[in-house]
Structure 1
């Protein structure tokens, strides 16, 4: 299954439980919301109660965290069945997960582990992606993960690997600019080289988030404000690319909703005019 371009709908936010009531009460100037897929694998409860109201007002996309598409274990069709049922219920504009592995046999790291960047991995991912997309009957967008180690077996850098995966499969990517910055700092490469190497046709979405800086290394915690360096990377990217759906992601240490909205407003301000939804410009 070849991926088709995702529609451009503007600037979004990660939908988190602590903001449900304020979103419903205030109808904030947000173009779309992204939900964590696995949070909605249950039949009912608080998440569905609020989502049913929010999705009447805003487009919704789905983002998974536990598919482990890069694993060498058998494809988890029980997981895919739950995901497909949730997709059918939510009717998201698109779905995504991470280009990584987190499980191997009965072992689950509960972390997003990077792939070795090899020809063998490209073949493996191409096959797995085809199986997953055929089962779900829709394209799957893959997100680059942050990394804290590299593999001696790797035969190419990450951005060359992503570009080649796109060439072979037509898949699109969710570029997390914070993750690129984290990996660039940890492994001492130029994040602009990464961003410049990914074809425009391969980019479906952007994440902007924060991290924790420990000096010698940084950790992708998504619990801090977006730093100036990540804003600068996004600004340069936006002003050299056609519009890409862009989202503010926060997963812990949640501030007042107005602070998240301020980051969304700042993202809009850094992008050229053709990126803006004029209703909210």
Structure 2
């Protein structure tokens, strides 16, 4: 199962404060990425603006609420609303996370970590296949940021993602900021991760900022997506693009939303690296 890729180019995440300005100024962007759940209401203000913007830009749907790694059944209502949105805006990409966020019908405002085991791979693969069958589309799975590691780990994250691609035909969304944050927090090599991940499956790259926090036990990096992309992540990006020049790139900014001009500065910087 597949669909047309974006061929290179840099887009930005579409955020509410920028709706009107993007419509008015029409900046040159390869695509706009939306958080799917914010556009489920067909009569809401967000959907009103989306209907206008999708006439000018390709749209990517980035979900944060399916809770693919949960043991709860997938929400039928959530899936139907997502399908309605996908059918409506015909996005070039659809993505979700390697995480979970619900238990016993209760949802959390977090993307929580998973144990990288064969059991998890079996479970997650079945869920991805279920979603792809309902949508009639391939989805991308994004690597999470990590602050701890389960005591029982049967495979590294990249191996699990590669196996997931082989089993389900899904694609990958590679968040380079998340890789850097996880590598610094858990002590593995970002370069090894990028060397081992299935580059042919990667259709999109995310770039974002992190926050550095000093605790009594030591320093930790927090994936806040609330600042400019850090120099180490730019270096990872530059290295990755040398081998994968046609991957689509997104500037992601989710908290402390700045003026649109700041996102466009980051977008232009990514174009220079490309």
TM-score interval for Structure 1 and Structure 2 normalised by the shorter chain = over 0.9
Q: CA deviation at 1:4?
A: 4.5
- Which whole-Å deviations, capped at 9, do the CAs of 1:160-189 have from their partners, x for residues lacking one? 111121222222111010011111111011
Contact 1:5–1:201 (8 Å) recurs in 2 = no
1: CA distance between counterparts of 2:74 and 2:102? 11
Secondary structure at the counterpart of residue 243 of structure 2? coil
Q: CA deviation at 1:197?
A: 0.9
Q: CA deviation at 1:150?
A: 0.7
1: CA distance between counterparts of 2:143 and 2:114? 10
Stretches of structure 2 lacking an aligned partner (at least 5 in a row): none
- Which whole-Å deviations, capped at 9, do the CAs of 1:100-143 have from their partners, x for residues lacking one? 11112133232101221111111111111111111111111111
Contact 2:8–2:246 (8 Å) recurs in 1 = no
Q: CA deviation at 1:225?
A: 0.9
Stretches of structure 1 lacking an aligned partner (at least 5 in a row): 272-281
Q: CA deviation at 1:269?
A: 0.6
Partner of 2:43: 44
Deviating above 6 A after TM superposition, structure 1's stretches of 4 or more consecutive aligned residues are none
Partner of 1:240: 243
Q: CA deviation at 1:6?
A: 2.3
1: CA distance between counterparts of 2:89 and 2:239? 34
Secondary structure at the counterpart of residue 217 of structure 1? strand
Secondary structure at the counterpart of residue 107 of structure 2? strand
1: CA distance between counterparts of 2:129 and 2:163? 15
Q: After superposing the two structures, state which structure 1 stretch, 153-162 or 62-71, moved more.
A: 153-162
Q: CA deviation at 1:61?
A: 1.0
Contact 2:210–2:222 (8 Å) recurs in 1 = yes
Q: How many residues align?
A: 270
Secondary structure at the counterpart of residue 173 of structure 2? strand
TM-score of the superposition, structure 1-length normalised? 0.93
Partner of 1:7: 6
- Which whole-Å deviations, capped at 9, do the CAs of 1:43-91 have from their partners, x for residues lacking one? 2232122111111111111110000111111121111011111111111
TM-score of the superposition, structure 2-length normalised? 0.95
Taking only aligned residues, the RMSD between alpha carbons, in angstroms, comes to 1.3
Matches within 5 A, 1:1-281: 2-4=1-3, 6-215=5-214, 216-271=219-274
